[in-house]
Amino acid sequence: MNSDILSLDRIDIKILDILQKDGRISNIKLAEAVNLSPTAALARVQKLGNEGFILGYEAKLNYEKLNSNFVVFVEILLDKTTPNVLDEFSYAVVQYPEIMACHMISGGFDFLVKIRCKNMEEFRRISGQILWQLPGVKETRSYPVMEVIKDSSQIYLNNKIK
């Protein structure tokens, strides 16, 4: 287990759990939920931020209303996996906001990319103008999503409580 998490107590874990479910909760309500004074709760939140447990806050947007309801996962195989090719590919990927996520993986492909866009036509444009232009790309396999069953960015914390 990572030693960083060992520095957290039950209250810290509960604060993190509450904040990842509602990042806009008032400090007063947060304090009530964890049985602390507002001053103590705010100090805990600031400490969690300063120690890097909280990286930031963002709004969860409605993909459907924003014409971004089409999801495609793409496996990418590079022609070589030398350090310089991996670095060039990684640097290039982060430049494109159309690419929501990119993970280096083991197995038959080198990277797994998540794209969210309007429709198949837009994905074809992204594939041709972005994915195939990334450094070192040898092969791709695309998997359009038929239905999203679960899509969460929350970390399960209940098993982390001391």
User: Can you read off the two tokens belonging to residue 127?
Assistant: 């594939």
Residues 77 and 142: their CA atoms lie apart, in Å, by: 12
- Averaged confidence pLDDT in the chain: 94
Beta bridge partners of 71: 116
The pLDDT score that the predictor gives to residue 160 is: 65
Residues sharing a CB contact under 8 Å with residue 86, sequence separation 6 or more, in sequence order: 78, 104, 110
What's the one-letter identity of residue 19? L
pTM here? 0.86
Is the per-residue pLDDT at 159 higher than 80? no
What mean pLDDT do residues 26-37 have? Answer: 97
Banded pLDDT at 161 (limits 50, 70, 90): low
Which of 2-16, 64-78, 96-110 is predicted least confidently? 2-16
Q: How large is the greatest C-alpha to C-alpha distance in the chain, in angstroms?
A: 57
The pLDDT score that the predictor gives to residue 57 is: 93
> What domains can be seen in the chain, in order of their start residue?
3-59 (1.10.10.10), 70-144 (3.30.70.920)
Strands (E), 28-136: 70-78, 99-104, 111-117
Banded pLDDT at 28 (limits 50, 70, 90): very high
